[in-house]
């Protein structure tokens, strides 16, 4: 049975596109819907923060939900300029990831170690097989992503297609003796 709530959330408040549940959509302060495409453009400026309650349930703090329609529309108009400013601040890398914690699964003879860096994509997009550089103490090491994973309470979860700007996620890569610590950046050029 269709209810009025479904109909009211049928279209994006910012661009008029249909809100499609498989793509996911968000909401503004007044409850009106925002489509996945507009969310992607707004997200780097309004990063999603995840935490977990005592029972281990994910609690999403979404600053986009605090915006009224006028502020969201204004931010959407400035979204491209905002990314350009970010890129200028980060030496024009195509994508930047801020590392918050790292776990290393030691490899063995002929087997590289598996590194999982948890953190947040500052801007841009990271996908499996992307060539990345680990920026650490003024130096840099090259490797490639094996996969991108969801952030869970105790580490990384199932694989996801990509990590997008403003989104918490985990980047997984392999190598020997790579240096990667909280506070480092992982970039794609
Ligand atoms: Zn939209």
Q: Where are the domains of the chain?
A: 25-87, 93-188
Give distance in angstroms: CA of 38 to centre of ligand 1.
4
Q: How many CB atoms lie within 10 A of CB 72?
A: 22
Q: How many CB atoms lie within 10 A of CB 100?
A: 15
Give distance in angstroms: CA of 37 to centre of ligand 1.
6
Residue-wise pLDDT tens digits, 76-106: 999 999 999 999 999 999 999 999 999 999 9
Give distance in angstroms: CA of 45 to centre of ligand 1.
16
Is 97 within 8 Å of 163 (Cβ atoms)?
yes
pLDDT grade, residue 107 (50/70/90)?
confident
Distance from C-alpha of 149 to C-alpha of 141, rounded to nearest angstrom: 21
Closest CA to 43 of 9, 22, 67: 67
pLDDT at res. 23: 83
Whether 128 has a pLDDT exceeding 60, the answer reads yes
Assigned fold of 93-188:
Elongation Factor Tu (Ef-tu); domain 3 (2.40.30)
What's the token pair of residue 2?
Answer: 């269709």
Give distance in angstroms: CA of 25 to centre of ligand 1.
9
pLDDT at res. 9: 58
Give distance in angstroms: CA of 26 to centre of ligand 1.
10
What's the token pair of residue 154?
Answer: 């105790």
Enclosing H/E stretch for 186? strand 185-188
Distance from C-alpha of 82 to C-alpha of 167, rounded to nearest angstrom: 16
pLDDT at res. 149: 98
Considering the chain, what percentage of its residues have pLDDT values greater than 70?
95
Give distance in angstroms: CA of 126 to centre of ligand 1.
22
Q: What is the pTM of this model?
A: 0.91
pLDDT at res. 109: 85
Q: Which residue has the higher pLDDT, 3 or 124?
A: 124
Give distance in angstroms: CA of 14 to centre of ligand 1.
5
């Amino acid at each position: 049975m269709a209810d009025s709530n479904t109909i009211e959330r049928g279209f994006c408040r910012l661009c008029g596109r249909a809100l499609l549940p498989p793509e996911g959509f968000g909401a503004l302060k007044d409850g009106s819907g925002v489509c996945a495409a507009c969310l992607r453009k707004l997200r780097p400026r309004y990063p999603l923060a995840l935490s977990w309650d005592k029972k281990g349930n994910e609690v999403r703090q979404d600053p986009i939900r605090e915006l009224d329609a006028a502020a969201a529309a204004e931010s959407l108009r400035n979204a491209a300029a905002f990314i350009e400013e970010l890129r200028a601040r980060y030496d024009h890398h195509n994508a930047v990831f801020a590392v918050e914690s790292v776990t290393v699964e030691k490899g063995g003879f002929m087997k590289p170690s598996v590194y999982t860096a948890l953190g947040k994509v500052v801007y841009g997009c990271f996908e499996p097989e992307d060539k990345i550089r680990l920026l650490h103490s003024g130096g840099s090491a090259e490797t490639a992503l094996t996969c991108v994973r969801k952030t869970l309470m105790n580490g990384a979860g199932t694989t996801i297609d990509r990590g997008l700007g403003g989104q918490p996620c985990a980047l997984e890569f392999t190598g020997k003796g790579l240096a990667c610590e909280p506070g480092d950046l992982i970039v794609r050029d």
